[in-house]
Amino acid sequence: MIVVTGASGHLGRLVLEGLLDAVPAGEIVAATRRPDSLADVASRGVQVRHADFAEPDTLAAAFTGADKLLLISADTPGVRAGQHKAAVEAAASAGVGFIAYTSVLHANVSPLIVAPDHTATEEVIVASGLPYAFLRNGWYLENYEQTVRSALDSGVIVGSAGDGRVATATRADYAAGAVAVLTGDGQENTVHELAGDTSWSFPEFAAELSAVAGREISYRNVTRDEHRARLIEAGLPEQTADVVLSFDRDIAAGALGDTNGQLGRLIGRPTTPLNEWLRTQLP
Ligand SMILES: NC(=O)c1ccc[n+]([C@@H]2O[C@H](COP(=O)([O-])OP(=O)(O)OC[C@H]3O[C@@H](n4cnc5c(N)ncnc54)[C@H](OP(=O)(O)O)[C@@H]3O)[C@@H](O)[C@H]2O)c1
């Protein structure tokens, strides 16, 4: 039995689809805060169970019988480390045989503002004694959906990442990686540094988007102060603007540029290239 938490999220749904192609539906449990939203999956023979990391009492029943558990990281920075700890403790109590966790690329040395929640969770998992796999996912291409939309409107991408490179893959690529780990052998106590096979810089992103859209879109690198002012002017709350700024700073420093090829090898095909994804984003 494979239990997937966060099953109604974007990544969770893609993992369920991949598992449905790989194992009988009766061996899959979709655990979510919103069971009603997975009625379509239930109708295909997947057990849907209620699980909310913020309500630890829900977790024992949700994890019962799990040979393997995919713990998809929650989405509230700061709060989620405690939620994940509750989930790991429940998994250990329920006798789960293996836990895979969606972490972040090079979590243990990453300067990313999101990394501490992931390292804290990895430490809790190791301390639990459960066999584990860390799926240290790099950036999703989908993180740039809004960038594409506004670039198509304005003809320009403004940022402060300089020539820093990002090795993106699609959520579907990372989901396939999770499925490979959940259905493969020899995954106990492994760490996977997962990212796109190739990387791009923002000037290259603008050039690729220009080629795909058939019109000129440029990248304008600005100072951090100007970038922050523009983000706030565009309507972002100050705190969110600071997070975006920190990502550009860390991209400039190389935190997301690793093209080690592990994800492509794990899923047995190349990861989705930037230009292919950009073509799916045109109106
Ligand atoms: N690598 C990247 O570029 C990147 C980008 C964004 C996010 N992430 C991380 O990857 C995760 C999955 O990405 P996504 O695109 O699928 O995110 P998403 O669609 O926004 O989904 C949020 C996820 O968080 C889960 N969640 C939130 N609160 C929870 C709680 N209290 N208990 C249990 N689950 C909870 C949701 O599960 P249910 O609603 O089904 O309960 C859902 O799976 C995110 O949550 C975040 O940690 C990575």
Note the helical H segments in the chain. Answer: 10-22, 39-42, 59-63, 80-93, 115-128, 145-154, 171-183, 202-213, 224-233, 238-252, 262-267, 274-280
pLDDT tens digits for range 232-270? 999 999 999 999 999 999 999 999 999 999 999 999 999
Percent of the chain with pLDDT over 70: 100
Q: Average pLDDT over the chain, rounded to whole?
A: 98
Q: What is the mean pLDDT of residues 107-133?
A: 98
Q: What is the mean pLDDT of residues 1-23?
A: 98
* Torsion, Cα of 20, 23, 24, 30 (10° steps): -50
**Atom number, ligand 1, closest to the C-alpha of residue 138:** 1
- CA–CA gap between residue 102 and residue 175 (Å, rounded): 10
Q: What are phi and psi of 263, to 5 degrees?
A: -65, -45
pTM: 0.98
3-state secondary structure of 104: strand
Residue 261 C-alpha to ligand 1 middle, in angstroms?
Answer: 24
Q: Would the pLDDT of 130 be above 90?
A: yes
Q: What is the mean pLDDT of residues 113-133?
A: 98
Mutate which of 13, 57, 75, 88 for ligand 1 pocket (most atoms within 8 A of beta carbon): 75
The pLDDT, as a whole number, for residue 269 is 98
3-state secondary structure of 266: helix
- CA–CA gap between residue 169 and residue 25 (Å, rounded): 27
**Atom number, ligand 1, closest to the C-alpha of residue 73:** 47
Mutate which of 4, 11, 16, 121 for ligand 1 pocket (most atoms within 8 A of beta carbon): 11
The pLDDT, as a whole number, for residue 78 is 87
pLDDT tens digits for range 159-168? 999 999 999 9
Mutate which of 72, 114, 122, 166 for ligand 1 pocket (most atoms within 8 A of beta carbon): 72
Q: What is the mean pLDDT of residues 90-99?
A: 98
**DSSP letter string, 144-182:** GHHHHHHHHHHSEEEES-TT-EE--B-HHHHHHHHHHHH
With a Cβ cut-off of 6 Å, ligand 1 is lined by: 5-12, 32-34, 52-54, 72-75, 83, 102, 137, 139-140, 143, 171
The pLDDT, as a whole number, for residue 198 is 98
**Displacement of CA 75 from its chain's centroid (Å):** 10
Report CA torsion sign: 90, 112, 261, 173: positive
